[in-house]
């Protein structure tokens, strides 16, 4: 890579020739304000806050995408530039609904940070001649909310949706100063074809797109003495919760997390690793059944975005979705319809609150197919950042808590090893072999451009299995598969498209971090590195089968631990 030498504010620096002006300035320690830029995701230069003065170039140029040329001279601190930044922030403020004290992003709003930094006044509020845009709130969906009053039209969500899913659910509507972001024709989100992957939520710099909040509802139910509130916590929460209190990315705060459950007033705790193990057994049984009956393929994933996609876009594959419920749902149904009795609680007084990294789980909990005997498996779903917010509203500083073990009896009854691996496919294949008393095989993958393929023998048949992990969107994968007529019998989708690792629920990192740091990898590696304990895991599961279900796939299991999917249309 060739190098170039440029001058920024009089200081010389030599950098690779493919650098942008902003990158060169950052390397010199010169901070340039930015609001819409996200490397490789949104490079539209819409906010005009990163403008700089380049010698021999007319007007101010945005530094975020401007390629450097040898000998370029850049100025970032002139009167004209400062005026432009303040002016543009004032313009953004003029249409903004400021309720920062009540806003989800009060502590990490990129817009508010710049307003503070540049000491901007909301000068357009003074005169009635300046009209403010009407506020549009799109909140009928159970998972996601759009609030145009907080939107600064950076376009990150539009780009993210297009890049990660290829579905283009969000785009700009209308034109000019009447522009809104949302589904076409301001349609409701739940009927827009959205699969709730949550990518838009993670990239939004303000609170314009976020998960539907259930913090108040959970605080209400915790105050209710008549209820027994059980928290079902996803294993990954321990390595992400701390981030909203200032820890390093992926720092394990499990001890403090458990202490917080106790302080906040949860009556019982259950880790969904337990339910995960059950789900593997159930899915393994399903796989075995289908192999013997030749009713493959089976398409699985650990994120509900996957099933949202098939229901709405590829309904011909509806029957290929495993019917096993997700760990969140299994935890809920077991707690209410088995462990409640064991612990001496009445079914009706038990409330299950799940803490998860995915916003799609909220919609999942509301599905009618996720009820048993007319009772919802899970009552409320909180994302990791919502739980952090809940603690802050209760003035609990997580990092000041002492480490503790999870409290209550339930956790003893369901104590098992932590689920830290991310491959449902491998675990299921292994469990399937064990169900058939066969020897589990090593998977010899052949990685072809983002798809790891292998063959596996089950019940005397050879099946082709695949793990789809590449960067292409879910839409691209299906179209390629149909075009090449490739046969897969068992597929797991672990790609970015459906929010497997960050489904919109994890603490939002700064834009600079999102550009430079491999955030997901750090979190993933941290989780995987945690040592498992509790070798009596299998005992607890076997007891459950012996006492309640008899065996995987039994009628009782099908009733409680399995769900169903339906073809869904959108823009109806």
Partner 1 sequence: MIERAHVLICSGSMCVSRGAKTLHDEFEEHLTRLGIRDEIKLVNTGCVGLCEQGPFVIVYPEGVFYALVKNKDIKTICEEHLFKGRLVEKLVFDETLTENKDIIAFDEIKFYSKQTRIALRNCGLINPDDIEEYIARDGYRGLGKALLEMTPLEVIEEMLASGLRGRGGGGFPTGLKWKFAYNNKNDQKYIICNADEGDPGAFMDRALLEGDPHSVLEGLMIGGYAIGANKGFIYVRIEYPTAIEKLKTAISQAKELGLLGNNIFGSGFDFDIEIRLGAGAFVCGEETALIASIEGGRGMSRNKPPFPAAKGLWGKPTIINNVETLANIPAILFDGAEKFAKIGTERSKGTKVFSLGGNIMNAGLVEVPMGTTLREVIYEIGGGIPKNKMLKAVQTGGPSGGAIPESMMDMKIEYETLIEAGSMMGSGGMVIIDEDSCMVDICRFYLDFTVEESCGKCTPCREGTKKMLEMLEIISSGEGTLADIDRLEKLAKTVKSSSLCGLGQAAPNPILSMLEHFRPEFESHVVEKVCPGGVCKPLIHFEILDGCIGCTKCATNCPVDCISGSIKQLHSIDTSACIKCGVCKNICPVDAIITI
Could you say whether residue 67 binds partner 1 (CB under 8 A)? Answer: yes
Dihedrals phi, psi of 191, to nearest 5 degrees:
-115, 25
Distance CA 516, CA 38 (A): 10
Q: Given the rule CB under 8 A, which of 1-9, 23-31, 80-88, 380-388 is the region that contacts partner 1?
A: 80-88
Q: Does 475 bind partner 1 (CB under 8 A)?
A: no
Determine phi and psi for 381, rounding to 5 degrees.
-120, 130
Smallest gap from residue 173 Cβ to partner 1 (A): 10
Binding partner 1 (rule: CB under 8 A), the pick from 1, 101, 119, 174 is 174
48 interacts with partner 1 by CB under 8 A: yes
For residue 452, give the 3-state DSSP assignment. strand
Nearest to 351 by CA among 214, 207, 510, 521: 214
Tell which positions 7-46 bind partner 1, by CB under 8 A: 44-46
Q: Which stretch binds partner 1 (CB under 8 A): 77-85, 142-150, 245-253, 267-275?
A: 77-85
Q: Give me Rg for the CA atoms of the chain.
A: 25
Among 2, 40, 178, 444, binds partner 1 (CB under 8 A): 178
**65-73, 193-201, 293-301, 562-570 -> range binding partner 1 (CB under 8 A):** 65-73
CB neighbours of 555 closer than 8 A, spacing ≥ 6? none
Q: What's the closest the beta carbon of residue 130 comes to partner 1, in angstroms?
A: 5
Of residues 87 and 292, the one with the C-beta less far from partner 1? 87
Identity of the residue, 118 or 317, whose beta carbon is nearer to partner 1 in the bound complex: 118
DSSP codes of every residue in 358-381: BTHHHHHHH-GGGEETTEES-SEE
Sole binder of partner 1 in the list 6, 25, 32, 92 (CB under 8 A): 92
Q: Quick one: how far is CA 33 from the chain centroid? A: 27
Residue-by-residue DSSP string for 39-56: TTTB----S--SEEEETT
Q: What is the C-alpha separation between 70 and 79, in angstroms, rounded?
A: 26
Residue 60 interacts with partner 1 (CB under 8 A): yes or no: yes
User: Out of 9, 171, 420, 441, which residue is the one contacting partner 1 (CB under 8 A)?
Assistant: 171
Q: Which two tokens stand for residue 109?
A: 């709003």
Shortest Å, Cβ 132 to partner 1: 11
**Complex with partner 1: residue 48 or 457, whichever CB lies closer:** 48
Residues 115-154, mask of contacts with partner 1 (x by CB under 8 A): ---------x--x-xxx--------------------xx-
CA angle (2, 7, 10) in 5-degree steps: 160
Question: Are 22 and 51 a contacting pair, CB within 8 Å?
Answer: no
| 88 binds partner 1 per the rule CB under 8 A | yes
The answer to the question of residue 381 lying near partner 1 (CB under 8 A) is no
Query: What is the Cα–Cα distance from 224 to 279, expressed in whole angstroms?
Result: 32
Strands (DSSP E) contained in 73-164 are: 73-75, 137-138, 144-147
What's the rounded Cα separation, in Å, for the pair 465 and 455? 6
Question: Minimum CB separation from partner 1 for residue 176, in Å?
Answer: 4
Tokens of 412: 């003893």
User: How many angstroms separate the CA atoms of 433 and 430, rounded?
Assistant: 5
Stretch that binds partner 1, among 6-14, 62-70, 262-270, 349-357 (CB under 8 A): 62-70
- Return the number of the residue (127 or 484) whose C-beta is nearest partner 1: 127
Give the shortest CB-205-to-partner 1 separation in angstroms.
Answer: 13
Q: Which of 5, 87, 546, 547 binds partner 1 (CB under 8 A)?
A: 87
CA pair distance 73, 552, nearest whole angstrom: 70
User: Which residue, 2, 15, 8, 3, is CA-closest to 72?
Assistant: 8
Using the rule CB under 8 A, is 62 a contact of partner 1?
A: yes
Candidates 17-25, 54-62, 411-419, 534-542; binding stretch for partner 1 (CB under 8 A): 54-62
Answer yes or no whether residue 155 interacts with partner 1 by CB under 8 A.
yes
Give the distance from CA 361 to its chain's centroid. 10
Contacts to partner 1 by CB under 8 A: 44-49, 51, 59-60, 62, 65-67, 80, 83-84, 87-88, 91-92, 94-95, 124, 127, 129-131, 152-153, 155, 171-172, 174-179
């Amino acid at each position: 890579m060739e190098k170039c030498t440029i001058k920024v504010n009089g200081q010389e620096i030599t950098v690779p020739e493919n650098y942008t002006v902003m990158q060169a300035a950052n390397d010199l320690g010169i901070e340039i304000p930015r609001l819409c830029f996200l490397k490789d995701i949104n490079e539209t230069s819409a906010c005009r806050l990163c403008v700089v003065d380049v010698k021999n170039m007319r007007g101010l140029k945005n530094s975020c995408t401007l390629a450097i040329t040898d000998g370029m001279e850049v100025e970032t601190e002139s009167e004209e530039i400062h005026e432009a930044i303040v002016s543009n922030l004032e313009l953004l403020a003029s249409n903004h609904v400021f309720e920062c004290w009540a806003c989800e992003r009060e502590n990490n709003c990129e817009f508010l940070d710049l307003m503070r930094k540049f000491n901007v006044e909301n000068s357009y509020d003074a005169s009635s001649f300046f009209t403010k845009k009407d506020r549009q709130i799109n909140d009928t969906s159970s998972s996601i909310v759009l609030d145009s009053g907080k939107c600064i039209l950076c376009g990150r969500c539009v780009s993210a949706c297009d890049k990660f899913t290829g579905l283009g659910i969000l785009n700009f509507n209308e034109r000019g100063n009447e522009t809104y972001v949302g589904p076409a024709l301001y349609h409701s989100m739940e009927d827009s074809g959205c699969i709730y992957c949550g990518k838009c939520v993670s990239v939004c710099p303000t609170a314009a797109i976020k998960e539907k909040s259930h913090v108040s509802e959970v605080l209400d139910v915790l105050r209710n003495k008549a209820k027994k509130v059980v928290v079902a916590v996803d294993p990954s929460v321990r390595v992400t919760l701390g981030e909203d209190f200032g820890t390093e990315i992926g720092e394990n705060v499990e001890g403090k997390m458990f202490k917080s459950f106790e302080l906040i007033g949860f009556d019982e705790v259950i880790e969904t690793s337990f339910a995960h193990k059950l789900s593997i057994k159930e899915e393994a049984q399903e796989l075995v059944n289908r192999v013997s009956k030749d009713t493959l393929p089976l398409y699985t994933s650990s994120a509900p975005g996957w099933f949202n996609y098939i229901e709405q876009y590829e309904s011909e594959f509806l029957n290929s979705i495993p019917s096993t419920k997700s760990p969140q749902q299994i935890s809920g149904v077991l707690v209410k319809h088995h462990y409640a009795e064991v612990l001496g609680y009445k079914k009706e007084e038990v409330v299950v609150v799940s803490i998860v990294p995915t916003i799609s789980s909220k919609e999942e909990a509301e599905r009618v197919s996720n009820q048993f005997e007319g009772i919802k498996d899970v009552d409320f779903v909180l994302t990791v950042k919502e739980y952090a917010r809940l603690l802050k509203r209760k003035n609990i500083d997580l990092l000041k808590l002492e480490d503790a073990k999870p409290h209550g009896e339930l956790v003893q009854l369901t104590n098992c090893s932590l689920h830290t691996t991310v491959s449902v496919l491998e675990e299921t294949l292994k469990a399937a072999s064990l169900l058939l008393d066969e020897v589990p095989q090593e998977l010899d993958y052949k990685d072809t451009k983002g798809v790891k393929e292998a063959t596996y023998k089950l019940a005397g048949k050879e099946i082709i299995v695949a793990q789809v992990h590449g960067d292409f969107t879910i839409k691209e994968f299906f179209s390629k598969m149909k075009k090449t007529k490739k046969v897969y019998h068992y597929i797991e989708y672990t790609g970015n498209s459906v929010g497997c690792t960050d489904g919109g629920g994890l603490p939002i990192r700064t834009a600079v971090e999102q550009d430079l740091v491999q955030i997901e990898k750090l979190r993933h590696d941290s989780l995987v590195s945690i040592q498992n304990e509790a070798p009596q895991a299998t005992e607890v599961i076997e007891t459950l089968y012996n006492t309640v279900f008899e065996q995987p796939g039994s009628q009782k299991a099908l009733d409680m631990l399995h769900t169903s999917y339906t073809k869904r249309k959108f823009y109806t």
